[in-house]
Amino acid sequence: MTLPGIATRESRTTIAQLSEALAETRARTLGLVNDLSEEQLIGPRLQIVNPLRWEIGHIAWFQEFWVLRRLGKQSPILKHGDELYDSARVDHDPAREEQAWFALINEFRTRK
pLDDT at residue 19 in the model: 81
Q: Is residue 22 part of a domain?
A: yes
Q: Is residue 49 part of a domain?
A: yes
pTM for this entry: 0.65
- At 58-77, the pLDDT tens digits run 888 888 888 888 888 899 88
pLDDT at residue 36 in the model: 92
Look at residues 63, 61, 49, 53 and name the one whose alpha carbon lies nearest to residue 92: 49
Written as one string, the DSSP assignment of 33-46 is HTT--HHHHH---B
Across 93-105, average pLDDT: 62
Is the separation of the CB atoms in 68 and 77 below 8 Å?
yes
Cβ neighbours of 69 (radius 10 Å) = 16
Q: Is residue 2 part of a domain?
A: no
The boundaries of the domain holding residue 94 are 15-110
Find the largest Cα–Cα distance for the chain: 46
Q: Is residue 58 part of a domain?
A: yes
- For residue 49, what are the β-bridge partners? 46
pLDDT of 1 above 50:
no
- At 39-53, the pLDDT tens digits run 898 888 777 778 888
- At 23-39, the pLDDT tens digits run 899 899 999 999 999 88
HEC profile for 56-91? Answer: HHHHHHHHHHHHHHHHCCCCCCCCCHHHHHCCCCCC
pLDDT at residue 27 in the model: 92
Q: Is residue 3 part of a domain?
A: no
SS3 of residue 49 by DSSP: strand
State how many domains the chain has.
Answer: 1
Q: Is residue 5 part of a domain?
A: no
